[in-house]
Structure 1
Amino acid sequence: MDHPLVAHKVSVLRDKTTPSPVFRQLTDELVTLLAYEATREVRTVEVEVETPVATTTGTAFAKPTPLVVPILRAGLGMLEGMTRLVPTAEVGFLGMARDEETLNIVTYAERLPADLTGRQVFVLDPMLATGGTLIEAIKFLFDRGADEVTCICLIAAPEGLQRLKDAHGGVERLHVVLASLDERLDEKAYIVPGLGDAGDRLYGLAH
């Protein structure tokens, strides 16, 4: 998303001296800006509205309502900024982590409808680094019947974005909205220049 407000907020997030409370506030504001773009194609229907003066035609979200899914734990820091813009959306949760022995992504928690048929789903995950977690989350949602998935991320590495394209690139119903596409991944799979570990910077070092 090419916008000076977005670029400014990302720059402050990158600063290693930015404290957690400010980091959380800026993340919240940034997600609201990204959500504005991400919801451009949200489905709507016409409704009749009574104003104090006359009857007119307005707009409402179509059914089924949009579903917002933060990826635990860092995605939680993006939830309020998203629901502020789309307050009538429903919220589900996905907890995913890498198994240190097999290196596979495992789902350790989920709170989602069993059937997502017809649903537009908005996935919240601050960092698109290697892309492994997001690839599995998208597969999980499409397997449940999701009609369209839009991923909202603060920053991404080209390698992770390419892996996402390789895994799901043929799916026209998949969209990714970013605040910044960074340079690369380093040898530890951290995004460069990045902003460090988003979860730790949002919530501290507790795991």
Structure 2
Amino acid sequence: MLLAMLSVTPQVIGKTQMENTGLHVAAARDDVEAVARSLAAGASIEQRDETGSTALMVATQENNIRVADMLIRAGADVNAKNRIDDSPYLYAGARGHLEILRLTLVSGADLASTNRYGGTALIPAAERGHVETVRTLIDAGVAVDHVNNLGWTALLEAIILGHGGDSHRQIVDLLLQAGADPNLADHDGVTPLEHASSKGYRAIEQRLLAAGARPAK
């Protein structure tokens, strides 16, 4: 019996704990009362499911603000990463889950932490056009010129992967106003201005030029 118990992998143990307490299921359903019961019954607030996610991570993925607030107040780690290097803070920023993001920011969010692409929360937020999220992250102090593993800053990603519409124009404005370097090129030496020009984003081109972008010679 002892040998059988020792042969159980950590992954299986984690899954069993999840099923026994129901904490992750309750978090996914935004069931505050069930989460409270699970914690009172002894469930660890930092226990992981089969994806390596904590209950707070699950609540964040579902944008379940009530449960996220409860778990954070109870001491859940806003920087705990799952197996693909997402944390509640990083995920909330990337997905534009603004209320949960704000909760993480006042509860010890690591502004320098990065996702599996080597990017801060600001970079995917800029890409996806989450204007208020970008504003919030800039105000919190996230570095605007951080370069991810692809060689892209938030400014470059907003242009390369954005649609050039109003939300991305606003984000370009916010980044430039926060001091983003309009001449910081990607790993291939292509600048934000060159990317905007190739995509026909004239309004963004004008913003970059006004901020000091240098046209290619």
TM-score, length of structure 2 as denominator length: 0.27
Structure 1 or 2, whichever has the larger Rg, is: 2
Query: If each structure's strand is expressed as a fraction of its own residues, which one has the higher value?
Result: 1
TM-score, length of structure 1 as denominator length: 0.28
